[in-house]
Structure 1
Amino acid sequence: MALSARKPAIPALTGVRFLAALSVALFHLSFQLAASLNIPTGHFFDNAGEPVELFFMLSGFILTYTHSDVSTVNRAATSQFYLSRFAKIYPMYLLGWLVFAPLIYINLVSLHGPGPGTYARLAFYGVMSITLMQAWIPATANAWNTPGWSLSAEAFFYALFPLLFASLKHRTVRALIALIALCWLISVVPTIVVSMLPKPFSTVQWPQDAANFMPVLRIAEFIAGICMGRLYLDRSSERSWAFDLAAALALVLAVAAMLFSNYLHARVVLFPVFFALLYCLARASGPLSRLLGSKVMVLLGEASFAFYILHVPLFKYAKIAVPSVATSPLQFSIFLVALTGVSIFCYLSIEKPLCAYLRRAYRTPPVARVPATLQR
């Protein structure tokens, strides 16, 4: 099998990843700062973590765009796909896991004291998270390095991608649009159900955690991204400034929804807004797409995975060393700049070379192309 030619990058989609990662970081880190300054935040701390939904859609889109040779028949391409995903996410994820390990040990000992129960919890949380299974149990989803739950979900999505892609590869535009609408409905139903639960279920955390973190309840966002990729591939040569304007409008609407909508309304609104933002950026030719596709923003976007994985543990260490970093605007800004620098360093010196090494070391040798008749 000859692997598909490498498709040209879509720089604006790389740049927008940093904006999404920054939103999630501010959601996790800036509550004390906002409170100390009496900044009116609206619903920001209800909704600013929602760009994870954008990550899931973008993941489905990019995989569809770059792995069009994957199928349930073409085992070589499928094996190469799984290797590629492992090489891309796991080295940096493992670094985040290791950096967080002393913090969770200290936390568990302070809560429960040293002893067999504490070490059993530590081992259980550690195994669940290092095997990317933590999101399947609400109690473990955020137990080890909070952002890691989304990688647990992504691992599930990656496992199903060849099957999902094969089933959607030849769908008509009308069928894809209908499926996107169905994915929108499926994505918000768990949150709606949780909001309607009677007491005592409405006062406990696990139903909300299940709705937020359970991979099977988040896969609709990934499937919508695959559908978006199929729509884009049908018309990818058509670009215009009108899409740039639409992307700018979608970006404004996303920020407004996160600031001014309650959590339930934001969950309903942000799915189509994020979908429109990504699709329009991919098709755009204008100032916003040029800005997000600039060299600086592309570098930040490429480093956004390290930024995303490391922001929680590094901030915890920063607070241990300098407690006022959580409430001082200057110190908090310095931390964000330092975090960005560390993330770029990790991308250039760890993530990128390790990913390239693993892909070279375990590359599947080319084999004869599978006849089209056997792929039906």
Structure 2
Amino acid sequence: MKFIHPLTSLRAFLAIWVLCRHWFYNYDGADGVFFKLSFSTPIFDKGYLGVDGFFILSGFILTYNYSRNGEVPSNYARFLLARIARIYPVHIICLLAAAGMILVKHFVMHRPAIGVDGNTGFAFLSNLVLMNSWFPGLSNGWNDVAWSVSAEWFAYLFFGVFLWIAPAKKHVKWLMLLPVLGLALVEWDGGRNQLSLPGSLWRLIPEFYLGVCLCRTRQMGGGQFLGKWGSLAAFALVVLTLFIGIDTLVVVSLALLIYSLSFSEDVATPAMSLPALIYLGEISYCIYMVQRIPQWIYSVARKSSSIIYLLPVPVQVAILLGMTILFAALLHHLIENPMRTRINRLGKKGGVGQSPVKSAVT
């Protein structure tokens, strides 16, 4: 199976885009922003849409790896075990680290944290079993960013259903209208920035399905919509729709970008295949999952040192980004890769089935 390196690299940009939202968006008025900038831009403010890009990309790549001719993975237990090996070790480590951080806040620093912002026992258990985004009203406390991992787990469990409603036929491209209309309804019903609200599957289901249909379209002989310039045109659409301010249009533009970058003849392929970008893409899951830990450590250090606080904002951003990438790299090499290999090997020894195709993207 040929790796699609530009899509691996794209994961890095999506993860850092999410960081931009968490670092620069003013959540609660003047004191609700981590890094205060002298300007506001929808490019940063809409960083939550990086998660939507991940959902589309996940549907695309899983279909590319596991369903070349419309079939469901032949050994579904082995498929699910591979998915657990992919997401669960990092999820558990980050959840426990977040819990430790919250306990320190509550009992050592005497800042109320347990029971605040959803940090309850029930929320911890729902995070532990990856069901914290399945039902309305469930809390996303502790490591709040893990809501999207819970949503991904839902997609893995029902991957066969997604494949079944996206048949390997040429008319599948028209089915992409369904998730787009669904997202438009969600955004319209919830008002402004509805797609930024976690805690449900309203984003995951249509976007994952959109990714499956995109891959099906490619498998059925769909070509570049603008030849080798497709990715540049799609990127321009992403920027344009960000300023228009309609999330559904941004999601459609991200889907076009993913589709375009899947072709080796695309003009952006050489740049998006640079080893450094591929590496950042490979650790992007860790970047996304571990982000709250270095952010908290840096916040404590900044409050205790006026020198750090007075540094220019770009320097502070560079320091925190460097810390986040370092934490992510350690997590990737010490936990993610070794545990993924070990779990898959144990599954094979236990007779669960043959190892599925390994991907540089998923």
Q: 1:44 to 1:141 in 2, by over 3 A?
A: farther
Out of 292, 304, 309, the residue aligned to residue 272 of structure 2 is 292
Q: 1:320 to 1:245 in 2, by over 3 A?
A: same
Out of 179, 183, 190, the residue aligned to residue 179 of structure 2 is 183
- Output one character per residue of 1:157-206: Cα deviation in whole Å (capped at 9) or x when no partner: 11100222134243x222x122101110101212201229xxxxxxxxxx
TM-score by structure 1 length?
0.80
Counterpart AA for 1:321? A
Q: 1:53 to 1:243 in 2, by over 3 A?
A: farther
Shift of 1:130: 1.2
Equivalent residue number for residue 12 of structure 1: 6
Out of 231, 234, 244, the residue aligned to residue 261 of structure 1 is 244
Counterpart AA for 1:143? G
Within 1, Cα distance between the matches of 2:139 and 2:60? 25
Normalized per residue, which structure has more helix? 1
Moved more, 286-295 or 82-91: 286-295
Counterpart AA for 2:7? L
Q: 1:126 to 1:78 in 2, by over 3 A?
A: same
Out of 334, 346, 349, the residue aligned to residue 361 of structure 1 is 346
Within 1, Cα distance between the matches of 2:228 and 2:184? 28
Equivalent residue number for residue 319 of structure 1: 299
Whether 1:338 and 2:336 are equivalent positions in the alignment is: no
Name stretches of at least 5 consecutive residues in structure 2 with no aligned partner: 26-32, 355-362
Equivalent residue number for residue 251 of structure 1: 235
Shift of 1:366: 5.5
TM-score by structure 2 length?
0.83
Shift of 1:255: 3.2
Within 2, Cα distance between the matches of 1:335 and 1:353? 26
Shift of 1:314: 1.8
Shift of 1:251: 1.7
Whether 1:64 and 2:63 are equivalent positions in the alignment is: yes
Counterpart AA for 1:12? P
Shift of 1:316: 1.1
> 1:72–1:78: 8 Å Cα contact kept in structure 2?
no
Q: 1:312 to 1:80 in 2, by over 3 A?
A: same
Q: 1:56 to 1:8 in 2, by over 3 A?
A: same
Shift of 1:68: 1.9
Shift of 1:217: 4.9
> 1:239–1:285: 8 Å Cα contact kept in structure 2?
no
Name stretches of at least 5 consecutive residues in structure 1 with no aligned partner: 1-6, 197-206, 368-376
> 1:239–1:284: 8 Å Cα contact kept in structure 2?
no
Shift of 1:59: 0.5
Equivalent residue number for residue 24 of structure 1: 18
Whether 1:305 and 2:285 are equivalent positions in the alignment is: yes
Equivalent residue number for residue 251 of structure 2: 271
Shift of 1:70: 10
- Output one character per residue of 1:241-273: Cα deviation in whole Å (capped at 9) or x when no partner: x54421122123323433x233xx1x1211210
Matched residue pairs, number? 337
Identity of aligned residues (%): 24
Out of 148, 151, 155, the residue aligned to residue 150 of structure 1 is 148
Out of 153, 157, 160, the residue aligned to residue 159 of structure 1 is 157
